Amino acid sequence: MLGYVTIGVTDMEKAKAFYTDLLADFNAKLLYDSGRIAFIGEGWDKTMLSICIPFDGNDPQPGNGNMLSFACDSPEMVDKLYAKALELGCSCEGPPGQRVPIFYGAYFRDPDGNKSCFFYMNMDG
């Protein structure tokens, strides 16, 4: 159902390098780049992340209550990618941990202030 999600950034070159590096463990790569907007993902038939310089020319504004969430294969993958995010310049919004019996997650903000989460969902509880 979900095709892509777009977030605003201030520096396209920096953001492309950041997100392609951060999401490489998901086999994500730069799929398309028109200069003002770029799509990153596994392929056109998968959900993608779009990064852009806002069309109106104003500064990007991270939304209050908006968040990108990336599903991981294990709690260890959550830990690994969260550590990578911090190494790449993200700030902590909640370290890795069990939130509820079925959900393990870690929260961070990218250099432009966009909030994200790496998570592992264990439906067996």
Examine the domain organization and report whether 77 and 38 are in the same domain: no
User: What is the tens place of the pLDDT at every residue in 68-109?
Assistant: 999 999 999 999 999 999 999 999 999 999 999 999 999 999
Domain CATH code at residue 90: 3.10.180.10
Examine the domain organization and report whether 116 and 78 are in the same domain: yes
CA distance 38 to 35: 7
By residue range, what is the domain housing residue 81?
Answer: 66-125
CA distance 80 to 96: 10
Chain-centroid distance of CA 56 in Å reads 23
Band of pLDDT at residue 125, cut at 50, 70 and 90: low
Band of pLDDT at residue 1, cut at 50, 70 and 90: confident
Q: What DSSP assignment string belongs to 3-40?
A: -EEEEE-S-HHHHHHHHHHHTGGGT-EEEEE-SSEEEE
| pTM check: above 0.85 | yes
C-alpha torsion 59→19→26→67, nearest 10: -30
